Amino acid sequence: MTNKNRIESQEVNAVFDHYPVSIQEKLIYLRSLVLETALETDGVSSIEETLKWGEPSYLAKGGSTIRLGWNKSKPNQYVLYFHCKTKLVDTFKELYSELLKFDGNRAIVFNVNDEVPSDELRHCISLSLTYHRIKHLPMLGA
């Protein structure tokens, strides 16, 4: 299991270093939620940290990729992306539409001043990390 504080990949580390400091802190926090959730989720034995589409990405065997993002065209937002061809974001909307903001069927969007609902976000992350084992269940077994 990847150490939650140390970024093993120089390429991933370089991407984090490229973000503005305020966004870096937000994305590092999301990264820690992903890695901590992986440690706490039954059936997740390891998680891979890599780059996909030039952004830090996380994948567990039997899961669906989670990607962290920021775009300078929307400097006050940062994003947790999920595979758009899954039922993940639709399920998150059903469960947490009053707490989370979404971008279509692909992302949870945060503004820099938002308080992150950690427990609910951990649940979303856990569903993604185990997606291929639960995708046949109504509401992903939530």
Residue 24, domain CATH: 3.90.1150.200
The answer to whether 82 and 55 are in contact (CB under 8 A) is no
Average predicted confidence (pLDDT) for the chain: 91
Instruction: Quote the pTM value.
Output: 0.92
The domain in which residue 34 lies consists of 10-141
| Residue 38 in tokens | 């992986």
**pLDDT tens per residue, range 20-60:** 999 999 999 999 999 999 999 998 999 999 999 999 999 99
Give the total number of structural domains in the chain: 1
3-state secondary structure of 107: strand
pLDDT exceeds cutoff 70 at 2: no
pLDDT score of 3: 42
Q: How many CB atoms lie within 10 A of CB 135?
A: 15
Instruction: Establish if 120 belongs to a structural domain.
Output: yes
Quick check: is 33 in a domain? yes
Helix axes 118-129, 88-96, angle to 10 degrees: 150
127: amino acid identity, one letter? L
Mean pLDDT to the nearest integer, 82-99: 95
Does the structure show a pLDDT above 60 at 80? yes
